[in-house]
Amino acid sequence: MGVSALLEFFNYWWTRYLLTTELYMVEKWERVTIHVIFFILFMLIWYFNYSIVLSLTSNLLVTPVRYLLSSDTETSPNVAT
């Protein structure tokens, strides 16, 4: 896959993106503004997933594994006394 094929592939998907979002019809400053908004939204979603969702899902996985691997059942959570 040469550089020209890679550029052709990128141009194809860039054109599809512009057609799908209908950004080909707006002026350049409007397109840049919308791209900045898309980027900010993407970064906010990424940060939320990284900080909140990842910590919750890792705790869901780590806590049962830690409970199963611990040999001392008296200090483990969810054990009726």
* Rounded average pLDDT over 69-73: 65
Look-up: residue for tokens 């990842």?
Answer: 54
21-68 pLDDT tens trace: 899 899 999 999 999 999 999 999 999 888 887 777 777 777 766 777
Give the Cα separation of 10 and 1 in Å (integer): 13
